[in-house]
Structure 1
Amino acid sequence: MSLIPKETVDQILAQADIVEVVGDFVSLKKKGQNMWACCPFHHEKSPSFSVSPAKGIYKCFGCGKAGNSVQFIMDVEGTSFPEALKYLAKKYGIEVPEDQPSPEYAKEQSDRDSLFIVSDFANKHYQNILQNHEQGGIGQSYLKERGISGATIRKFELGYSLDAWSDLTDAALKAGYQQRFLEATGLTILKEDGKKYDRFRGRVMFPIHNVSGRVVGFGARTLKSNDKKSPKYLNSPESDIYHKSNVLYGLFQAKQAIRMQDMCYMVEGYLDVLSLHQGGIENVVASSGTSLTEGQIKLISRYTQNITVLYDGDAAGIKASLRGIDLILENGLNVNVVTFPQGEDPDSYIQKVGDAAFKAYIQEHAQDFISFKTSLYAEEAKGNPVKKAEAIREIVTSIAKIPDPIKRTVFFRSCSLIFDIDEQLLISEYNKMQLQGRQQQQQPKTGNPADDYFDYEQAALAAEAEEYEQGGSETDELKRYEREIVRMLLSYPDKLLDDGVTTSQYILEQLEDIEFRTPVYRRLVELAKDKLNRGILPVADDFINYPDNEIRTESTNLLSDPYELSPNWATHQIYVPHESDLLPYGTERAVLRLKFRYLEGVINVEAGKLKLVTDPQEQVNQITYVMTLKKLHKQMGDMLGIVVFR
């Protein structure tokens, strides 16, 4: 496998600003010293995703995801470490010198990377047919008829698949690609009798890209109007790189426009996206015929909090899509709706009225979703009390999805006016729904990151006393104290203590004879020792940017803190010392606590040896040794304020 030179990796890590990198995917807000957002990796209503500009790390205190800029790209894009480095290098204009991939490199590539490679080959193959093959003229005629320009065809990398049984499969195998990857992406179908054929034949090809621009799948439209057996549109099946619930067609081409205009237009089909993009509305994506999913909403929320859904003029289709929009509300996004005249869709309407008139129509006819849904149901329920009651409950269900209480209040008022019903009755119905939901869940409430000061020392002492009195797993206790030592080693490695000794020097000298039991902490300590032995003071970046994923993740977890000192303390001129202000005291106690717990284990081992000693003099010597250890253990306990029971 070809490697990125270390000096290039160092350059990438030095230039990759964590706030800029994460800010490409989520909207960050400053709070204290850190930046906060709702986590892009799991659903949440209150922000628990923290970015520390000073430390160059991110941490979600809800789902536990953590790391540096490279790890974030790995997590959000699902790429390997080298691919994440290349992504950042491209972002910051850093050239990555690499040798041409060797046969060994191809063999060592993971199955996931191989799926991307095969999909890219297929994409280029289909493009070449559209542009250069005789049959490609069929596809070009269709696209021209639909008003799609050559520039749009090239930008979205449209192609055409030959009307032949195994054209792509044969070409890929001839080029050296493995059949198992063709099958895994769904490009090739293997029959029971061993024969193989292409999934896509005689179709216009719409490649589907992930947010970083890599092809993950295809949508394909047949041009055979007389073929009743084949569906008009055929999509790639689910694979390791293609999950349709987490992909939006056109997002790669639209993401910058969405961010700049702070708005995302949502349509249904591929041609809707192409026509609008070509008409100057570049901030448009499609769900590709699937019901809107939470994963797709999370993708959009990285770039904007505002979505406008452009509906076809089909009433039945609108009603079927309403549940998906409730999901958008539940995720805290603002939703507008635009409907088109009966029989029109975004593609046909922009082709009919032109770009300028289409844009004007959207501006004039956009209305917030709750008002739209309320009017829709009110019209259906007119003159029917039973339907009216059902409609009101349906609207309240949607309003209940909105996390913002001010928005909920506004919509309750609007709904009460349209249905001519008392606003308080709507609120009562909402409260009833909320109560029923809480009773059904019966789950403990999880707290959000606090702003107030948290007394680490008192919490640690209380936990120590409770653990020691109740007993507990020796392994768990040792792990906790090893964790605290390594946390301080990473947080303040080069901070000077008394007599000009750094924190890392003091900790490693004091614990020289103690072997850490937790594997990842033992590795971290050994890395720090290796640095010191070479005359180099370890720093946090050595661990945050370490190539090994386990080291990176654990280092980031140790350096992440959900608590910050509230600025109100300073406003009221109340001084609260930070941990760093009491570093000599804190480091000494952390070392002492680990020695105390480690000594407990030694005492248990030595006491157990008494059962095996038969010589009277050796028994006396062993008892004396155990008593000496216990005396030392009690002295340590006294220093820590822990009562040691005999």
Structure 2
Amino acid sequence: MALIKKEVVDQIIQHADIVEVVGDFVDLKKKGQNMWACCPFHHEKSPSFSVAPKKGIYKCFGCGKAGNSVQFIMDIEGTSYVEALRYLAKKYGIEIEEDQSPAAVQAQNEKDSLFILSDFAKQYFVNALHKNDEGQSIGMPYFKQRGLSQATIQKFELGYSLDSWDDFTKAALEKGYQLKYLEETGLTIVKQEEGKQYDRFRGRVMFPIHNVSGRTIGFGARTLKSNDKKSPKYVNSPESRIYHKSDVLYGMFQAKQAIRQEDECFLVEGYLDVLSLHQGGIENVVASSGTSLTENQIKLIGRYTKNITVLYDGDPAGIKASLRGIDLILEGGLNVNVVLFPDGDDPDSYIRKVGDTAFRNYLKEHSQDFISFKSELFAQEAKDNPVKKAEAIREMVVSISKIPDAIKRSVFLQRCSLQFGIDEQVLISEYNKIHLTEQKASRQQSQPSSGYMPSDEELAEAEAAAAAEAEMYGAEDQQEVDQHNTLRNREREVIRWILNYADKEVDEGLTASQFMLGELEDVEFKTPIYARLFDMCRLKLEQGFFPTATEFMQHEEKEIRNEVIDLVSEKYEISNGWATHEIIVPHESDLVTYGSEREVLRLKWRNVQLMIKEQMDGLATLKEDQEVDKCLRTIKTLKEFEKQIADMLGIVISR
């Protein structure tokens, strides 16, 4: 198997009708020019999920999910980009032609070999559990002892590896599988210097690990020898080209639909926690498999829900070690709750002890938001020790600072203030210190691997964001915050206008994109995403093409794709009722000349205002009379230019 050719990708995207693709999963209803439904990605009562047939995109104005037909399949099915393309190609009867370059073919063939070998290994271990005397007498009793039913064992494809040095390796080699792939997947350990090779998983019950598409990519294995102190209880597959521990969650393949339906994911630690809860009817559960939670694992959960409930064993030391995971979840923009089990119990042991119904009730009654959970945990430690209490409060603020949503941060700071009995303004002040420290650190560490360094404008953007936060928490300089926010909005509108009306004429032989890109050639955009889009539009025009949104919606970077889709999505449409009453309400597409000119002037005007402010702020620091005179002349020139633009916009400047 090789890579899909670009021409075929373009053909698939062109043929994939967004209404048909989405309609296979969602009941769409026409309203105006677009189709609407309740969003399949989050619970809602009123439809906010829009499909625009003419633009070939979907957009949820509730949760923000957006994209084209390929992205929809990726979101709804949890597949990779290539798998989504293959799904659509099959739906529309498009034959996939592959990129047959030797390097591409070899790389894909080798990766496929690893998948095929892993699937063979899984089936071998399943057969050993069900059909071999050793598996039946040793492996199966362990699973039964842990309360697992035959249906659960089969659903998760559990198995057993014989207690033999090389039984599996011999069987694989006899079937024609190459030793180099056996070694890369970690199924076989090769000792070159000794000329020996032997099975990694000997005398262990086997837990196959699947990717979100259901393909076997690795294994977890538990020993059944309690008297062997030298052998670790659990052994996992090593990293390979198909298995990256930091990207995988155990049980995600079996849980993804339930997570989406319940709009919640229970996060546990071990394989048996997942199996027992799943068997008890709680199917929206995954495990980090004993490893520290990673950013990619959180992103994987975020594809299906924004709500995570972490189920902790009743072990205080283990809980404190795991708290970093909560901060990562918060940083990922997800909502996190916590359930703590009685000391000595974990989810697996507790559900087997109390039963399914009582376990569900326990989850409902003991679920806490992370602020309540973490503050109680630290408060117990601090007690009457003021130093420890101060450290606990600082830890709480550090966690809150990870939350990207400003309103949520504000609410949690209030909660923390009440929980610890401390003035909210003190917490706000501590938050601002942390935020500014992180901003300075990010300036020094900005993506050195790509050679990228933040520009002065991006640093100004960061400072503006900090100023906006400070205002939310009681800062006085609202005017400066408003100016930066307004500038961002003006830049956004310029890009939106270019993308929506790139090929529309504003004058004979002159299109909106040509006019706006030409007029703003010397203007430097301050917002990074819009600066990039402006440069991309300019490059497209230089290449002889209009910078329409269609191609940018296929961009390799998700941030670009999502922003462009957001810019061309229309939440509201003009009602047909106006025409019934013979009231003509023009659409902005009827006013391209007027709108293009006005957006250019608005952006220039806002930039001039910021330039005047910068000169005014710098005036107080100047000591030489010559420098002061020069600065005053610059301010005067800028103010004259500001008035000229204001007159053209019909704005009266009052000072």
User: TM-score, length-normalised on structure 1?
Assistant: 0.65
State the partner residue of 2:517.
460
How many Å apart are 1:14 and its aligned residue? 4.7
- Quick one: distance in 1 between partners of 2:2 and 2:306? 41
Deviation digits for residues 216-242 of structure 1 (CA, Å, limit 9, x no counterpart):
111000101111111100000111111
- Structure 1 residues 33 and 246 mapped into 2: Cα distance closer, same or farther (>3 Å)? farther
State the partner residue of 2:172.
172
State the partner residue of 2:135.
136
CA RMSD between the two structures: 4.7
- Is contact 2:70-2:81 (8 Å) kept? no
- Is contact 2:251-2:274 (8 Å) kept? yes
**Which shifted more, 330-339 or 403-412?**
403-412
- Quick one: distance in 2 between partners of 1:204 and 1:566? 54
Compare CA radii of gyration and give the structure with the larger one: 1
The answer to whether the aligner puts 1:301 opposite 2:305 as a matched pair is no
State the partner residue of 1:605.
none
- Is contact 2:57-2:565 (8 Å) kept? no
- Quick one: distance in 2 between partners of 1:179 and 1:146? 35
- Is contact 1:293-1:324 (8 Å) kept? yes
The answer to whether the aligner puts 1:483 opposite 2:543 as a matched pair is yes
Q: Which amino acid aligns with 2:543?
A: R
SS at match of 2:543: helix
Q: Which amino acid aligns with 1:131?
A: H
5 Å-filtered alignment, 1:9-408, equals: 14=15, 17=18, 54-56=54-56, 69=70, 73=74, 81=82, 83-88=83-88, 110-137=109-136, 138-193=138-193, 194-408=195-409
How many Å apart are 1:458 and its aligned residue? 3.0
- Structure 1 residues 22 and 484 mapped into 2: Cα distance closer, same or farther (>3 Å)? farther
SS at match of 2:160: strand
Which consecutive unaligned segments of at least 5 residues does structure 2 have?
26-30, 42-49, 60-65, 97-101, 444-453, 463-487, 499-512, 525-535, 576-582, 594-655
How many Å apart are 1:486 and its aligned residue? 6.6
- Is contact 1:12-1:89 (8 Å) kept? no
- Structure 1 residues 70 and 368 mapped into 2: Cα distance closer, same or farther (>3 Å)? closer
Q: Which amino acid aligns with 1:485?
A: F
- Quick one: distance in 1 between partners of 2:81 and 2:112? 8
Q: Which amino acid aligns with 1:268?
A: E
Q: Which amino acid aligns with 2:567?
A: Y
Q: Which amino acid aligns with 2:517?
A: A
SS at match of 2:518: helix
SS at match of 2:311: strand
How many Å apart are 1:20 and its aligned residue? 5.9
Q: Which amino acid aligns with 1:302?
A: R
- Is contact 1:19-1:53 (8 Å) kept? no
SS at match of 1:394: helix
How many Å apart are 1:564 and its aligned residue? 3.7
Q: Which amino acid aligns with 1:300?
A: I
- Structure 1 residues 16 and 362 mapped into 2: Cα distance closer, same or farther (>3 Å)? farther
- Structure 1 residues 575 and 97 mapped into 2: Cα distance closer, same or farther (>3 Å)? closer
- Quick one: distance in 1 between partners of 2:569 and 2:305? 30
User: TM-score, length-normalised on structure 2?
Assistant: 0.64
How many Å apart are 1:331 and its aligned residue? 1.3
- Quick one: distance in 2 between partners of 1:248 and 1:212? 12
- Is contact 1:451-1:565 (8 Å) kept? no
**Which shifted more, 401-410 or 179-188?**
401-410
**Which shifted more, 408-417 or 141-150?**
408-417
- Is contact 1:378-1:418 (8 Å) kept? no
- Quick one: distance in 1 between partners of 2:374 and 2:433? 21
Q: Which amino acid aligns with 2:365?
A: E
- Is contact 1:206-1:218 (8 Å) kept? yes
- Is contact 2:114-2:181 (8 Å) kept? yes
How many Å apart are 1:197 and its aligned residue? 1.2
- Quick one: distance in 2 between partners of 1:270 and 1:234? 12
Deviation digits for residues 402-454 of structure 1 (CA, Å, limit 9, x no counterpart):
22233222222222222221111111111221122223323414879935653
State the partner residue of 1:639.
none
- Is contact 1:203-1:221 (8 Å) kept? yes
- Quick one: distance in 2 between partners of 1:418 and 1:372? 11
SS at match of 1:135: helix
Q: Which amino acid aligns with 1:354?
A: G
How many Å apart are 1:183 and its aligned residue? 1.5
- Is contact 1:335-1:369 (8 Å) kept? yes
Q: Percent identity at matched positions?
A: 57
Equivalent residue for 1:450, pick from 492, 502, 509: 492
- Quick one: distance in 2 between partners of 1:23 and 1:372? 42
- Structure 1 residues 208 and 429 mapped into 2: Cα distance closer, same or farther (>3 Å)? same
| Higher relative contact order (Cα pairs below 8 Å, separated by 6+ residues) | 1
- Structure 1 residues 88 and 356 mapped into 2: Cα distance closer, same or farther (>3 Å)? farther
- Quick one: distance in 2 between partners of 1:178 and 1:16? 43
SS at match of 1:151: helix
SS at match of 1:218: strand
Q: Which amino acid aligns with 2:169?
A: T
Which consecutive unaligned segments of at least 5 residues does structure 1 have?
25-29, 41-49, 60-64, 99-103, 468-475, 492-539, 583-646
